[in-house]
Amino acid sequence: MSTFDREDGAAVPAEELFRHYQAQYAETEPTHIANRLGLPFDYICERFSVSFMGREYYVSHPGMQIEAADGEDLYRLAGLPSGKILIGRYLLHATVFPQNGEFMAFRELPSGEVYARQFEDRCRKHLAERFGNRLDEFGGIMEFIGAEHIHGADEAWELEFLDGLSIRFLFWRGDEEFEPTAQILFSSNFPAAFGTYDLAEIIDACMEVFENVLAYLKK
């Protein structure tokens, strides 16, 4: 059974935590969420429209059921506990300020130094090991998602994770002496939307989506 960290750091079953957010969400007026995040809410269909990694999803209210707007859930988000929980936290607690163009490494974020080693092992190294020698493959995933190819490192992409919240993935190729390396940067408005403890979960969700997209592209 997959687990997910609560705000207090305790690991709980992911489905249990999602039900907890479902209950909170059902009690929250949709107008409050729409005004705080600037998200469109369809009062006839009773659902929000949320952009998740370049694709539009509907999130019903009060049930918090998630479905792809085009009916084709290529990311398999409806069955991805980490993605559903992060969308729940986003809708319930996030505030999104306009981006100012600045990006920050994990350890530069609030409490980032405390969790930097865990993030390094769980996210940066995993990214480099999985795609550092497969940059063409990673580029194909990014193009499919609609990410922006940017300047920086040997290969770099900027992805909008949720509305107004962007992540940059940078790679340096390896050689006979050194393994490939990667860096992950977050737009400077992330701390108002998610806690630093959420960011490893966010990268985990991204990696699961990357694998789902790759499987789709290889069909």
Interval 100-125: pLDDT, tens = 989 999 999 998 998 899 999 999 99
Q: What percent of the chain has pLDDT over 70?
A: 95
pLDDT at 193: 95
Count Cα atoms within 13 angstroms, Cβ side, for 4: 26
Whether residues 194 and 119 fall in one domain: yes
**Is 33 domain-assigned?**
yes
Whether residues 64 and 43 fall in one domain: yes
The answer to whether residue 52 scores a pLDDT higher than 90 is yes
Q: What pLDDT digit, counting tens, does each position of 57-74 carry?
A: 999 999 999 999 999 999
DSSP 101: S
pLDDT at 174: 84
Confidence of residue 1 (pLDDT cuts 50, 70, 90): very low
Whether residues 168 and 188 fall in one domain: yes
Spatial neighbors of 198 by CB under 8 A, at least 6 apart, are 86, 89
Q: What pLDDT digit, counting tens, does each position of 119-144 carry?
A: 999 999 999 999 999 999 999 999 99
Whether residues 115 and 176 fall in one domain: yes
CATH of the domain at 116: 3.30.310
pLDDT at 106: 96
Whether residues 183 and 205 fall in one domain: yes
Contact 70, 51 (CB under 8 A): no
Can you name the residues that pair with 128 across neighbouring β-strands?
none
Question: Which residue segment(s) compose the domain that 53 sits in?
Answer: 3-93
**Is 98 domain-assigned?**
no
Last residue of a domain, one of 93, 122, 156: 93
Tell me the whole-structure pTM to 2 decimals.
Answer: 0.92
Count of domains observed in the chain: 2
Residue 104: CB atoms within 10 Å? 15
Last residue of a domain, one of 93, 111, 133: 93
pLDDT at 4: 60
Whether residues 80 and 166 fall in one domain: no
